[in-house]
A and B are shown apart, each in its own frame.
Chain A
Amino acid sequence: MTLMQEPPAGQRNGLPEYLERVSRGDREAFAALYRQTAPRMFGICLRMLDTRHEAEETLQDVYLTVWRKAGQFDPERGSAMTWLATIARNRARDRLRTRTAAREDPIALDDDWADAAPNAEDLALAGDDSARVHRCLGTLEPVDQRLIRTAFFDGATYTQLAARAARPLGTIKSRIRRALVRLKECLA
């Protein structure tokens, strides 16, 4: 089967249907689901894990999990893409946690330079929603941006962020919560 062919017209948004068929062991639906969603899931794995090798292994893990758990997807409870991405993120985070050495590189809180934001071309490709989130994230203080990005991309929790930033847990929590409130206001 050629994987890279475009899905037939009318099936492009059929992710919930694909998942339902996958839950009954339908491999063709599984292949179609993979075709449509793997690039984004691979993007998540690549971004969260250090090496391509880890991302490639984790992507397999993600889809084997999808194969087993497709029956648990409930379209009433959210979009299929979000459900898939949650699995991708969780598997990538599990992978990070199984490492002998968790990522511990320090996060500097005392400088003001912003982390590299995606360029305009990337944003245009990614669509409006993404551009809006990046723009709002960009309105936060550089340090807060860095903390939120690190939380998501490195799979780091409050506790891990506090350790890496060498700050008390309470400081980090309150700082990020305030940043989330601002992010929410900007995105509203």
Chain B
Amino acid sequence: MTDTEIPEATDPDILAAELAFGLLDDAEAGPALRLLARDTAFQALHDRWLGYALALFASTAEDPPEWIWRAIERQLPANDTMDQLNRRVARWRFAALAASVALLVTTGGGALWLGSSAVPHPAEAPQTIAQAPAPAAPMVAMLQGKAGVVSVAFDQTAGTLTVSNGKLGLDARHTAQLWVIPADGVPRSLGVLPADRPVWRTAPGTTAGLLNTAATIAVSVEPLGGSPTGLPTGPAILTGKLMQAG
């Protein structure tokens, strides 16, 4: 063989093989990668070669040690709270359904089963006091999520909670409900955020005792009027930890 007779990789199949086996330098790979991005026939060739190349690896499969998965999980972006909360919401939803079914069974028929909208609202619907600018408050939480940002301030002396709503982009059939999730993990309603007010103030009453730095504040999407079960039924869209300001 002499160096003067270098066969060019004019055959797209061979170019695909070169790309799949990783033979091309960055400069050479550029045109091939652009072809890969736009040419479905070339993609198919490349995929087949990559399949062959990977078949060479198949005999080397090995279970990674368990700790690697935990290390990966730890490095995922910090939206853990939201994620765990949504998983919990799924459980609450199931529990509420199970309770409804139990009610249906104990009443011996379907007559009382009027759907979730007939389940009584939680008694302690927080009272809306006024819309006013927030005073400087000792406890604050910034609730964040894809839907936007809501800030919450709790004045321990006055026992009032002030909420600045951003636009949460909910449709007309849904409402945003505010919850406190204390250390026991069971959410308590702080009330439904009025869609038409940028600042909303409420007096949480007995729930105020739960507003401390161990608590998470969250907003969930609920039917108009708030959760029919007393626990979140829709996805949590915003969460944040309550912190001592100043």
Contact = CB atoms under 8 A, between A and B. Distances in A.
Interface of A: 3-4, 25, 27-28, 30-31, 34, 38-40, 42-44, 46-47, 56, 59-60, 63-64, 67, 76-79, 81-82, 85-86, 89, 93, 118, 122-123, 125-127, 129-130, 132-134, 137, 148-149, 151-153, 155-159, 161, 168, 170-171, 173-178, 180-181, 183-184, 187
Given A39-B63, A40-B58, 9 more contacts: A25-B83, A42-B63, A43-B57, A127-B55, A158-B28, A174-B1, A177-B18, A180-B17, A183-B17
A174 B71 contact: no
B71 A60 contact: yes
Interface of B: 1, 3-7, 9, 11, 13-14, 17-18, 21-25, 28, 40, 43, 46-47, 50-66, 68-69, 71-73, 75-76, 79, 83, 87
A155 B13 CA distance: 20
Contacts of A3: 66, 69
A78 B47 CA distance: 6
Nearest to A68: B77
B62 A81 contact: no
A86 B53 CA distance: 10
Contact of B21 (A127, A152, A170, A173): A152
A43 B25 contact: no
Interface of A is mostly: helix
Given A38-B64, A38-B69, A81-B54, A152 B59 contact: no
Contacts of A175: 1
A184 B62 contact: no
B58 A60 contact: no
Contacts of A157: 22-25
A75 B61 CA distance: 24
A81 B51 CA distance: 9
B68 A39 contact: no
Task: Point out which of B3, B55, B65, B79 has the most chain A C-beta atoms below 10 A from its C-beta.
Answer: B55
A77 B54 CA distance: 17
